[in-house]
Amino acid sequence: MHISNIYVKNFRNFSDFSMDLSIGFQTIIGENNIGKSNLYRAIRLVLDKGISYKERILNEKDFHGYPNLNINDHIIISIDFQGDNISSFPNLHAIKTSDNSARVVYLFAHKSRLIETEEEFSRVEIKDFRYNLYGGGNSLKFEDVIELNKITFKELEGINLFFITAFRNIYRDLHGKNDSLLNQYCLSREKAEEEQKQIQEILSSSSDSLNDLDFIPDLSSTIEKKANQIAGEYFSFPISLSFLSNYEADSLNHLNIFFNPYANKNIPISTLGLGQKNILYLSLFLSKLINERSSHELNILLIEEPEAHLHPQLQKLLFSNLGVLPNTQVLMTSHSTHIASDCELKNLNILFNNNNGITKSFSPFSNGLLTPRESQLLKRYLDATRSELFFASAVIFVEGVAEQFLIPAIANQKYSINLVEYNISVIPIHSRYFDPYLKLVQEGSLEISACAIIDGDSKEVSEGESTTAVENAEKLRVEGRVGVFPGKETLEIDLFPNKNVNNSYLKNCFNNLGHGQSFSNLMSVSQNWNSELINRIDNTVKKGRFAQELSLLIDEKFETPRYIFEAIRFIAKQKNIEIKC
């Protein structure tokens, strides 16, 4: 069994939100402040038995849009489950919607709409709102939900939700204490009671040896006498010094984890980096979870940003190992492009705001949007840099590294638009095959502003090839949101179409890269300008190096090709950015 859908209406930044989830590990990504933590909060309101009744009572700020409350205002959060074995969960009959599906609904509304009451309400106040949990049902309309059977958490036995916050107290949980993670893990072991007794015996023996020392009775006696002097005989009390009490349950409190780089060298874990402590924390938590698993239970694990303080390779390793827990569905929020580029494609869920400011969800590989070949190609190219498009609020797709250097420089120096400041990413696809990328941003998919800047290459490819690439891309235009902007030739020829246009930039670029003579030779040619220019850039200077140097030289006087200007203006308009022409 697994969560198959999360529906949230009118809660925080979610006006009418739905996310479909597939079986297995789920990665949830998106730019900052997009609602990942709000989504977790919504899930916990429905399923987390550790949240108190008081915490489930919301306030005005939890309503979407911060409205002046109306008596009809309400919040609905629904969690759907699917699985072939739901009938094997004996306590879930109250939430079943069919033999292989179930639903739990949280409804927060004015109490006059939830219960029959003769009480009169002269004004609508948040103190008069209440919540109920409901099970089952096939409709999420308010009037249908309130007709369902109310449930309590007794009807959710067998569904266990765990939440690991990004602000977890790692250091405390790696030490003994009654409520520490280390203590809980020890108690979850199959032979915990027997192991606890063995620890108790050793510590008791150590305590006896401690009291054989001459100065120990003196220490306790001195403290006891001082207490008697301060508080008097009536309020003072006898004490002793020991390693533990006589209660076996306390024995685990004396266990601590140490860094042990050499034999017999226990070093406090405070000396470890945050990344290593993070790994220890997750190792303990997952070990405890596995020990407590049951074949007739579903564990749901919500993890916030587990990649914190981990280098890229370790992020990917951690990611792959989190996805193989038995009877457990893991949902993980992340800001890591390394994790986003390496996850199982069907389980990647992107939160984004469309151009109307509505928060939506998109899973790029689970809705049949791409052909199998396109999915394979996209997976191959979604390395850590290009997966950046899933965190952007707008995207400019370009062919290669030259455009990646030059487009941001032109936007910034020529038109005073810092693309990074507006979370606009320039994404090189390293080909002219834009179709899979443009399919991602169609209606009903990742509905963000996007455009493609494509070389014309009319003289560089076989007849008809350029036209086909451009025409295929242009078929994927979306009016007012996704644009396609083809050039005439290659980027470099369009930037320097003859000896006169942007000549000083071309000269400085060649000179700064140590190829002044090559520039002089270029200026002396009387024909075949395009081929001579490209030959020197590609073979003498090298294309990427040339673009990098040119990006440093561009200023407000640089003559920008019309199609590049149009592409930048298009994206600027979508983001309500005033462009300096």
Residue 310: both structure tokens together? 């981990």
Q: Which of 315, 222, 327 is nearest to 275 (CA)?
A: 315
* Portion of the chain with pLDDT greater than 90, in percent: 55
- Give Cβ neighbours of residue 79 (< 8 Å, ≥ 6 apart): 3, 5, 6, 43, 46, 47, 103, 104, 105
Residues 425 and 537 in one domain: yes
Q: Are 447 and 393 in contact (CB under 8 A)?
A: no
Residue 544 has pLDDT above 80, yes or no: yes
Alpha helices in 323-388 (DSSP H): 337-342, 372-381
* Amino acid in the structure at residue 256: N
Beta-bridged to residue 109, according to DSSP, are: 74, 130
Which of 256, 276, 292 is where one domain is finished?
A: 256
DSSP structural state of residue 577: P
DSSP 414-425: IH---TGGGTEE
Residues 152 and 186 in one domain: no
Q: Residue 321 has what pLDDT?
A: 66
- Per the domain annotation, does 290 fall within a domain? no
Q: Residue 401 has what pLDDT?
A: 94
Question: Residue 207: exposed, middle, or buried by beta-carbon count in 10 A (0-12, 13-18, 19+)?
Answer: middle
Residues 499 and 533 in one domain: yes
- Per the domain annotation, does 270 fall within a domain? no
Residues 150 and 8 in one domain: yes
Going by their DSSP bridges, the two strands 159-164 and 298-304 should be labelled as parallel
Residues 93 and 190 in one domain: no
Q: Is 425 left (phi over 0), alpha (psi -120 to 50) or beta?
A: beta
Is the model more confident about 532 or about 201?
532
Residue 227: both structure tokens together? 């207490």
> In whole angstroms, what is the distance from residue 504 CA to residue 515 CA?
14
Residues 145 and 219 in one domain: no
CATH number, domain with residue 153 = 3.40.50
- Please name the residue that has the structure tokens 């004490």: 239
Q: Residue 276 has what pLDDT?
A: 77
Query: In this predicted model, what pLDDT tens digit does every residue of 139-153 receive, in sequence order?
Result: 999 999 999 999 999
Residue 368 has pLDDT above 60, yes or no: yes
pLDDT band at 74, cuts 50/70/90? Answer: very high
Residues 152 and 236 in one domain: no
> In whole angstroms, what is the distance from residue 62 CA to residue 117 CA?
25
What is the CA 138 to chain-centroid distance, rounded?
A: 30
Residues 107 and 239 in one domain: no
Residue 214 has pLDDT above 90, yes or no: no
Mean pLDDT of 155-168: 85
With H, G, I as helix, E, B as strand and everything else as coil, classify residue 470: helix
- Per the domain annotation, does 85 fall within a domain? yes
- Per the domain annotation, does 148 fall within a domain? yes
Q: Residue 462 has what pLDDT?
A: 57
> In whole angstroms, what is the distance from residue 486 CA to residue 504 CA?
26
DSSP 100-150: TEEEEEEEEEEHHHHS------SS--GGGEEEEEEE--S--SHHHHTTSEE
Query: In this predicted model, what pLDDT tens digit does every residue of 388-437 receive, in sequence order?
Result: 889 999 999 999 999 999 999 999 999 999 999 999 999 999 888 999 99
Residues 415 and 530 in one domain: yes
Which of 218, 241, 256 is where one domain is finished?
A: 256
Mean pLDDT of 160-180: 74
Residues 160 and 242 in one domain: no
- Per the domain annotation, does 506 fall within a domain? yes
Mean pLDDT of 277-288: 80
Q: Residue 400 has what pLDDT?
A: 93
- Per the domain annotation, does 337 fall within a domain? no
- Per the domain annotation, does 213 fall within a domain? yes
Residue 130 has pLDDT above 80, yes or no: yes
Q: What is the CA radius of gyration of the chain?
A: 32
Residues 424 and 548 in one domain: yes
Structural domain harbouring 451: 368-574
Q: Residue 280 has what pLDDT?
A: 79
pLDDT band at 255, cuts 50/70/90? Answer: confident
The whole model's pTM is what? 0.86
Residues 105 and 201 in one domain: no
Q: Which of 180, 164, 193 is nearest to 40 (CA)?
A: 164
Domains: count for the chain: 3
- Per the domain annotation, does 197 fall within a domain? yes
pLDDT band at 20, cuts 50/70/90? Answer: very high
Q: Residue 388 has what pLDDT?
A: 87
